[in-house]
């Protein structure tokens, strides 16, 4: 994977202040946001890079590590620790054996075995570090995760084809092993973490795998009862309304909700709340009839 210069991504100098970083991030995020650039893979790629750059540079500690170690900044503590250990080892050798004129072959073998040489004439193995982990976000509509689907993402110029399981939640993060940055010293590649941002493009309210919907019920059906048809997520459902149904009555349809994540053929429930609509602008005849009903009800 190519090294990403986060300063270039945000178009700021290396001596930029925290305020400069915040201002630059907002500008770039607005420019490449998926809502502004729908169905534009290049803009989505840029938006992911902008978010990644901001996550690193807006954190003073992470920025310090990045400035010092570049793409290996996540392993800064391990690298610094290893460097200190190597300095200590060299210092110890110089102190203990720097003026020795006799046969030091035994001591040499000792240090070779202790510090990774593997015997006289061997070479010390350099420390291996896992590559940088990458973070990306994927914007997707709620209707698109009702069923599992395949999608191709472009991260750092590389296309990654993945299956998005049905029922994935907003804010949920999945790991794709080995699609991060290159390792150091022959170490393994980092991983790619994808966070899903689910846009609810429906009339339903989602709570985990349960769906909630409000249905307006006319007064006459609420009083007398009857059959109605309501929209479910991917179909229509026929319901029988009981006579005398009250306002805010809730009805539960078991198993008619949203798919449960990685649970095949398992769904949440569908909750319907009835809102009884009171008729307005009654005709004179309707008013007379309601008045008659009122008298009958109170008599």
The CA-atom distances, in angstroms, between 111 and each of 99, 102, 115, 123, 255 are 16, 16, 6, 12, 68
- Residue 264: burial class (beta carbons within 10 Å; 0-12, 13-18, 19+): exposed
Domains of the chain, CATH where assigned: 6-72+130-199 (1.10.287.110), 205-298 (2.60.260.20)
Q: What is the dihedral of CA 31, 32, 38, 39, to 10 degrees?
A: 150
pTM: 0.56
CB-CB contact of 181 with 1 (8 Å):
yes
pLDDT tens-digit series, residues 229-238: 999 998 899 9
User: Which of 15-19, 128-132, 193-197 is predicted with the least confidence, judged by mean pLDDT?
Assistant: 128-132
Residue range 270-296, pLDDT digits in tens: 999 999 998 888 889 988 888 888 888
Cα–Cα distance between 91 and 242 in angstroms, integer?
88
pLDDT for 257 beyond 90: yes
Q: Quote the pLDDT of residue 245.
A: 94
If one counts every other C-beta atom within 10 angstroms of the C-beta of residue 176, the result is 16
Question: Residue 110: its pLDDT value, please?
Answer: 38
CA distances from residue 47 to 7, 139, 274 in whole angstroms, order as listed: 14, 11, 42
**Residue 291 has what pLDDT?**
86
* Closest of 211, 203, 221 to residue 275, by C-alpha: 221
Q: DSSP labels for 219-239?
A: HHHHHH-EEEEEE-SSSEEEE
Is pLDDT at 109 greater than 60 in this prediction? no
Q: How far apart are CA 191 and CA 32, in angstroms?
A: 24
* Count of residues in the chain: 299
Q: Closest Cα to residue 168, out of 191, 141, 145?
A: 145
Assess contact for 95 and 85: CB atoms under 8 A: no
Torsion 9-13-15-21 (CA) sign: negative
For residues 105-129, give the mean pLDDT.
Answer: 49
């Amino acid at each position: 994977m190519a090294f990403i210069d986060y300063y270039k991504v945000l178009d700021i100098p290396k001596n930029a202040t925290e305020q400069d970083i915040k201002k630059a991030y907002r500008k770039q995020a607005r420019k490449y946001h998926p809502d502004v650039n729908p169905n534009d893979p290049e803009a989505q790629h840029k938006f992911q890079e902008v978010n990644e750059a901001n996550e690193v540079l807006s954190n003073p500690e992470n920025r310090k590590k990045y400035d010092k170690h570049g793409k290996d900044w996540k392993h800064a503590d391990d690298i610094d620790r290893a460097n200190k250990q190597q300095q200590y080892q060299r210092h110890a050798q110089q102190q203990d054996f720097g003026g020795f004129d006799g046969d030091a072959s035994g001591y040499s073998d000792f240090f070779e075995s202790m510090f990774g040489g593997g015997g006289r004439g061997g070479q010390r193995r350099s420390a291996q570090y896992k590559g940088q982990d990458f973070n990306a976000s994927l914007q997707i509509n709620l209707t698109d995760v009702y069923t599992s689907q395949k999608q191709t993402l472009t991260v750092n110029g590389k296309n990654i084809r993945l299956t998005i399981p049905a029922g994935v939640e907003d804010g949920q993060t999945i790991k794709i092993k080995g699609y991060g940055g290159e390792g150091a010293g022959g170490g393994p590649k980092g991983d790619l973490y994808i966070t899903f941002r689910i846009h609810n493009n429906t009339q339903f309210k989602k709570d985990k795998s349960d769906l909630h919907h409000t249905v307006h019920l006319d007064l006459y059906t609420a009083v007398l009862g009857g059959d109605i048809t309501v929209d479910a997520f991917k179909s229509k459902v026929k319901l029988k309304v009981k006579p005398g149904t009250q306002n805010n009555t809730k009805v539960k349809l078991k198993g008619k909700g949203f798919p449960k994540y990685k649970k095949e053929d398992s769904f949440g429930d569908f909750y319907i709340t009835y809102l009884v609509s009171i008729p307005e602008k009654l005709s004179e005849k309707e008013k007379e009839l309601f008045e008659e009903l009122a008298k009958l009800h109170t008599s």
